[in-house]
Amino acid sequence: MKRERADRPVAQSGRKLGPRALKTRERILRATSELLAERSVLDLPVVDIARRAGTSPATFYHYFKDVDELALALAERASEEMPDVAAWIRASMGGPDGLERARALVDAFLEHWDRHHAILTLRNMAADRGDSRFLRIRQENIGPVLSALASEIKRGQREQRISKEIHPFAAAAALASFLERLSAHHRDLGALGATREDIRETCARILVQTLEGSAPA
Amino acid sequence: MKRERADRPVAQSGRKLGPRALKTRERILRATSELLAERSVLDLPVVDIARRAGTSPATFYHYFKDVDELALALAERASEEMPDVAAWIRASMGGPDGLERARALVDAFLEHWDRHHAILTLRNMAADRGDSRFLRIRQENIGPVLSALASEIKRGQREQRISKEIHPFAAAAALASFLERLSAHHRDLGALGATREDIRETCARILVQTLEGSAPA
DNA sequence: TGTACATCAGTGAACGCGCGTTCACTGATGTAC
DNA sequence: TGTACATCAGTGAACGCGCGTTCACTGATGTAC
């Protein structure tokens, strides 16, 4: 597979791109983002992308092998903007301002999803489907978060705050799961009377309680 | 939309089905389940379903309007087998055998997903995509679980075990999210050294801790 | 400053595949007498 | 028990749409002298 770096895009022919070409490529990426936000992830034909970008299908193929590759480029770009949640976690949720740090963390997660909802959904669907390229991106994004969470659990276990019966990575996966899912779907919870703030607060508290072994003060 | 009951299937023409026809219909449903388990949810052409069922595309259309409707029938069937998790939750997780009840609950959830993994994934994807028919089924399935969880949280808040800052439905959604996600993906966690038992135990403990406000004994 | 040429960038139009869907028909099963 | 007829169940073959993809070409931009 031709590995594509965001800062060094290349035409399908392998030639480097001039400034005009870069702009066109950018228009195609942007058009795809827009379409993605407007309709289903499964309904993304080359023709429509090209039309939206004000160009032709033939041009599309100068820049991308197929729609998947384009989606991959978008997913990589979105993933790069993922906040460094792992660092926050390592800063620990204990002590008096632990809850405040947890809130900031959840908030960053929510915001990241708000900004890239469509493409992150696509990335996860493709990964669930088993596509190794999207799995890799997802793994690079979530992996460090899982590790950081698991480390905190282990620390809690050493310090006797958390039961040894809990499996650090299973717990980490559980926490990451609901963080991600609620971030992706927090709007739907409005129907149940939960605002974005409610979700942030609730997630932060469950997070602290699980990592610390007891509810925050 | 023609509402279809599992016990009273009807041909597209509206006629009732004889025993021979019922068998054919059943073969088509089964063939679809098999294909679903073998390949991506997005790759399910009528021709392949018919071939696998040992019949022809034309026959397919005697029984179903399109693949979506067929998937809907499968999803309804799978949903009917959902264990009554809500009842378990209302039985409470408190007291000495609360943890044991939580384990049983998580186990039932895991088993349900093991049995119907492919079609439940399809159901959730279709619901996420915004398809109202699949949303309805999903809602009928998860709704009672959410309500039961939220009620327990509220009870905990009345009894001062749980902070008022937590939003009952947000917390319920968080718990249901990770239960569902880990049930769907528990095999992938093997790579991180977590067995099915680890996952069951860990989920059960997080569940109890969140609903009770403190870790189980 | 102008001209010739090379390369870059873009595209209209067509081709063809896969697949959903339907039509006109055949064969199987049941029922009346 | 046999025959005629109605209805049920199933299908081969074709049609046509949507879409991915490519080809042969045009226009734009840069460079050499």
Q: What is the pLDDT of residues B166-190, one digit of tens each?
A: 999 999 999 999 999 999 999 999 9
Which CATH number characterizes residue A50's domain? 1.10.10.60
B10 close contact with A: CB closer than 8 A: no
Counting other chains too, the contacts that A27-31 makes at CB distance below 8 Å and 24 or more residues apart are A27/A53, A27/A54, A27/A55, A28/A53, A28/A55, A28/A59, A28/A60, A28/A63, A28/A64, A28/A70, A29/A70, A29/A73, A29/A74, A29/A77
pLDDT higher than 50, residue B6: no
Which CATH number characterizes residue B204's domain? 1.10.357.10
Residues B93, B24: one domain?
no
- As a whole number of angstroms, the distance between CA B124 and CA A58 comes to 35
**Least confident piece of the model among A27-31, A83-87, A92-96, A157-161:** A92-96
Rounded mean pLDDT, A110-124: 97
Residues A89, A195: one domain?
yes
Cβ contact, residue pair B194, A173, below 8 Å: yes
Cβ contact, residue pair A166, B205, below 8 Å: yes
Residues A198, A168: one domain?
yes
Of A37, A65, A93, the one marking the end of a domain is A65
Residues B100, B203: one domain?
yes
- In a domain, residue B86? The reply is yes
Residues A50, A105: one domain?
no
More confident residue, B8 or B116: B116
pLDDT of res. A98 = 93
pLDDT of res. A13 = 80
pLDDT higher than 90, residue A5: no
- In a domain, residue A72? The reply is no
Cβ contact, residue pair A202, B162, below 8 Å: no
pLDDT higher than 50, residue A36: yes
Q: What is the pLDDT of residues A185-201, one digit of tens each?
A: 999 999 999 999 999 99
- In a domain, residue B10? The reply is no
- In a domain, residue B74? The reply is no
- In a domain, residue A7? The reply is no
pLDDT class of B11 with cuts at 50, 70, 90: confident
Domain that holds residue B28: 19-65
Mutate to test the interface with B, among A44, A106, A120, A128 (most CBs of B within 10 A): A128
- In a domain, residue B11? The reply is no
Residues B27, B97: one domain?
no
Cβ contact, residue pair B41, A167, below 8 Å: no
pLDDT class of B7 with cuts at 50, 70, 90: low
pLDDT class of A16 with cuts at 50, 70, 90: confident
Residues B88, B194: one domain?
yes
Residues A55, A150: one domain?
no
Q: Is nucleic acid strand D under 7 Å from A20's C-beta?
A: yes
Residues B117, B154: one domain?
yes
From the CB of residue A73, how many other CB atoms can be counted at a distance below 10 Å? Answer: 21
Residue percentage of chain A with pLDDT more than 90: 86
Residues A95, A169: one domain?
yes
Cross-chain CB nearest to B166 (options A181, A189, A205):
A205
The helix/strand/coil state of B214 is strand
Rg (CA), chain B: 20
Q: Report chain B residues whose CB lies below 8 A from the CB of A43.
A: none
- In a domain, residue A42? The reply is yes
Encoded tokens for A127: 């990964």
Residues A137, A32: one domain?
no
pLDDT class of A2 with cuts at 50, 70, 90: very low
- In a domain, residue B180? The reply is yes
Q: Report chain A residues whose CB lies below 8 A from the CB of B44.
A: none
Of A65, A99, A119, the one marking the end of a domain is A65
Q: Report chain A residues whose CB lies below 8 A from the CB of B193.
A: 167, 169
Q: What is the pLDDT of residues B130-171, one digit of tens each?
A: 999 999 999 999 999 999 999 999 999 999 999 999 999 999
Q: What is the pLDDT of residues B45-92, one digit of tens each?
A: 999 999 999 999 999 999 999 999 999 999 999 999 999 999 999 998
More confident residue, A36 or A17: A36
Q: What is the pLDDT of residues A148-192, one digit of tens each?
A: 999 999 999 999 999 999 999 999 999 999 999 999 999 999 999
Residues B136, B208: one domain?
yes
From the CB of residue B61, how many other CB atoms can be counted at a distance below 10 Å? Answer: 14
Helices (H), ranges, B81-188: 85-90, 98-129, 132-158, 168-185
Of B11, B33, B65, the one marking the end of a domain is B65
In B 70-89, which Cβ lie closer than 7 Å to strand C? none
The helix/strand/coil state of B14 is coil
Rounded mean pLDDT, B16-30: 94
Cross-chain CB nearest to B202 (options A171, A182, A189):
A171
- As a whole number of angstroms, the distance between CA A119 and CA A76 comes to 10
Domain count, chain B: 2
